[in-house]
């Protein structure tokens, strides 16, 4: 049973087809990572899944009474807005002080309870936003570039945390990420989007590529998988497909791709 | 205390009370220019009221609300940047108001009263408007408080969480329109926004939560009204501007005090 079914979704602004003919499913307990170049329509796609944008064609079917926890790309709170982390958490849903502490503890940020949201670092802000979405007891967590503005070690921690949260709460996770190599280990399904779905499938198992271990240290490297990632076509700058090759099935485990609207 | 001073005091305190929480939203959401635009359109409302022989208060409220609605719908079409749009509407409606008033040759309208306020001419009827309208405004803010905070934090997040964002935002704009129409009597068209912004900005120095900021803004505004009126009575200065100067002094004092805010 999937929580969200996206069927042949297209979003067209004027003459620009931002998302074209995308189909995907989000299932409980699964982490789905959306990757793709800038301007590939990733944020537009998740906004359609969230119901913030009405699709031009196709549909998004959400299961009944689906609770969504959303973490936007950035939070712009005006500095004139006096807000502690605690008060910020209170805006999510009705919650007791225990709930709030528990949510903060789940993201390793319990010390921040009384702090001003304006004094948080990038990583702390992301953790607090994550804690806030947990307070809504979500079936689905939607994270738009959760690791933005966080240094590399912090990013590894954050992706670990997201996997832990999935294990602990059993929710589905949909996230956008640019850090291909960092998210792979904790991802069940990768969707590579460039307006249409280029490819999707399970990432390959952890690779013990020495250069990664060297770069991030042992704890980090344990969570790094190398995702062998080949496309059978190339794109020009506007995402149009050029130079399509014919061989498809060289990568095991990769479902290449019946959703793809491109002409292969 | 003479009657006119009592009415002025009661009216001014009422307006400052309502202006506190709304002023906080104007500051948080950077709507100062929006407030100015609505205020400038109030003069057009005055002209329309006199022209069609309507109650002037009612005409001003209607005009502010109408302009707020037009602004929201034009904003959606993204014809020009919002601040350009606001600039066009603010000065056009002010000019239209001035022209319309000049054309009404059989009526004498004292422009200065409307531009800078005539606090000392507040009548019991005006008090009904201030307190009646004020009750409705405060009640709505109280009911919508959490939704208003949610859209101020992040509109998309609020939308995902089930807040009817467009409706709440429109309500906030309309509430600001009502308050501006009501407050026009106290400080006048050109100074209204200051009564919304200055106490709220001063309150930021002392507040550790949005609720505190709204309440402190109301209190500071009320103190400014008392001080301004006192100064006006004592030194024979114009009442509206005296209130604004009092608010400014509060602001300068609070921001020059050597303490660090924590939130």
Cβ burial, residue B161 (10 Å; 0-12/13-18/19+)? buried
Contacts of B208 in chain A (CB under 8 A): 82, 84
- pLDDT score for A232: 60
> CB contact, 8 Å: A238 with chain B?
no
pLDDT value at residue A246:
43
Instruction: List the one residue out of A54, A46, A98 whose CA is nearest residue A73.
Output: A46
Determine, for residues A80 and B212 on separate chains, whether the beta-carbon distance falls below 8 Å.
Answer: no
Confidence of residue A242 (pLDDT cuts 50, 70, 90): low
A52 touches chain B (CB under 8 A): yes
**Hey, which residues 227-256 in chain B have their CB within 8 Å of chain A?**
none
Question: Predicted ipTM?
Answer: 0.87
Contact (CB, 8 A) for A104 and A131: yes
Residue of B nearest to A144 (CA): B157
3-state secondary structure of A185: helix
Query: Measured between CB atoms, does A72 come within 8 Å of chain B?
Result: yes
pLDDT in tens, B97-141: 989 888 887 767 788 888 888 888 888 988 998 999 999 999 999
Domain-located, residue B145: yes
Q: Quick one: pLDDT at residue B3?
A: 85
Q: Please tell me the predicted confidence (pLDDT) of residue B36.
A: 92
β-bridge pairing A57-62 and A2-13: antiparallel
Give the count of domains, chain B. Answer: 1
* B260 located within any domain: no
Give the pLDDT confidence of B189-237 residue by residue, as tens digits. Answer: 888 999 999 999 999 999 999 999 999 999 999 999 999 999 999 999 9
**Distance in angstroms (rounded) separating the CA atoms of residues B19 and B30:** 15
Q: What is the DSSP string of B146-172?
A: HHHHHHHH-HHHHHHTT--HHHHHHHH
Question: Does the pLDDT value for residue A86 go beyond 50?
Answer: yes
Q: Which residues of A touch B31 (CB under 8 A)?
A: none
Q: What is the pLDDT of residue A240?
A: 60
pLDDT band at A235 (very low <50, low <70, confident <90, very high): low
Q: Closest to A80 (Cβ–Cβ): which among B27, B149, B161? A: B27
Mean pLDDT of B36-51: 89
A4, A50, A81, A95, best to mutate vs chain B, most B CBs in 10 Å? A81
Judge whether residue B251 has pLDDT over 70. Answer: yes
Bridge pairing between strands A172-176 and A140-144: parallel
Give the residue numbers spanning the domain of B101.
Answer: 3-253
Domain ranges of chain A: 73-137
On the question of pLDDT at A247 being above 80, the answer is no
Contact A78 B208 (CB under 8 A): no
What pTM does this model have? 0.84
Residue B87 counted as domain residue: yes
Q: Determine phi and psi for A18, rounding to 5 degrees.
A: -80, -40
> Is residue B262 in some structural domain?
no
């Amino acid at each position: 049973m999937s929580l969200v079914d996206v069927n042949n979704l297209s979003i067209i602004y004027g003459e620009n087809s931002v998302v074209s003919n995308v189909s995907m499913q989000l299932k409980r307990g699964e982490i789905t990572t959306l990757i793709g170049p800038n301007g590939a329509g990733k944020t537009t796609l998740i906004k359609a899944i969230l119901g913030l944008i009405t699709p031009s064609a196709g549909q998004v079917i959400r299961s009944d009474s689906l609770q969504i926890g959303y973490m936007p790309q950035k939070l712009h709170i005006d500095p004139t807005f006096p807000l502690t982390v605690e008060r910020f958490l209170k805006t999510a849903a009705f919650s007791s002080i225990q709930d709030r502490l528990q949510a903060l503890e789940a993201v390793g940020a319990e010390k921040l309870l009384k702090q001003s949201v304006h004094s948080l670092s990038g990583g702390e802000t992301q953790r607090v936003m994550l804690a806030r979405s947990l307070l809504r007891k979500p079936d689905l967590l939607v994270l738009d570039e959760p690791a933005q503005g966080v240094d590399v070690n912090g990013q590894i921690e954050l992706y670990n945390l997201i996997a832990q949260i999935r294990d602990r709460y059993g929710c589905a996770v949909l996230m956008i990420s640019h850090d291909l190599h960092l998210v792979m280990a904790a991802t069940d399904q990768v969707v590579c989007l460039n307006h249409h779905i280029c490819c999707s499938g399970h990432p390959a198992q952890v690779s013990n590529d020495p250069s990664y271990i060297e770069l991030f240290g042992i704890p980090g490297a344990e969570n790094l998988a190398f995702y062998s990632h080949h496309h059978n076509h190339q794109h020009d700058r506007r995402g149009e497909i050029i130079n399509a090759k014919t061989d498809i099935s060289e990568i095991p485990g990769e479902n290449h791709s019946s959703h793809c609207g491109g002409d292969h | 205390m003479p009657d006119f001073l009592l009415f002025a005091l009661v009216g001014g305190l009422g307006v400052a009370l309502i202006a506190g929480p709304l002023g906080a939203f104007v500051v948080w959401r950077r709507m100062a220019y929006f407030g100015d635009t609505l205020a400038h359109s109030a003069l057009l409302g005055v002209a329309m009221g006199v022209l069609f022989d309507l109650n002037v208060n009612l005409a001003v409220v209607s005009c502010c609300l109408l302009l707020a609605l037009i602004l929201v719908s034009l904003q959606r079409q993204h014809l020009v940047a919002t601040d350009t749009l606001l600039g066009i509407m603010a000065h056009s409606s002010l000019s239209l108001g001035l022209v319309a008033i000049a054309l009404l040759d059989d009526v004498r309208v004292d422009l200065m009263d409307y531009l800078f306020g005539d606090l000392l001419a507040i009548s019991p009827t005006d008090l009904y408007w201030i307190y009646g309208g004020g009750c409705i405004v405060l009640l709505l803010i109280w009911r919508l408080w959490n939704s208003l905070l949610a859209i101020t934090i992040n509109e998309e997040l609020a939308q995902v969480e089930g807040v009817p964002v467009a409706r709440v935002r429109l309500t906030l704009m309309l509430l600001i329109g009502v308050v501006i129409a009501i407050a026009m009597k106290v400080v006048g068209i050109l100074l209204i926004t200051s009564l919304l912004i200055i106490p709220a900005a001063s309150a930021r120095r002392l507040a550790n939560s949005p609720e505190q900021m709204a309440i402190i803004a109301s209190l500071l505004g009320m103190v400014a009204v008392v001080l301004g009126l006192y100064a006006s009575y004592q030194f024979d200065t114009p009442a509206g501007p005296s209130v604004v100067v009092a608010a400014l002094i509060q602001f300068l004092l609070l921001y020059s005090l050597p303490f660090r805010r924590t939130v």
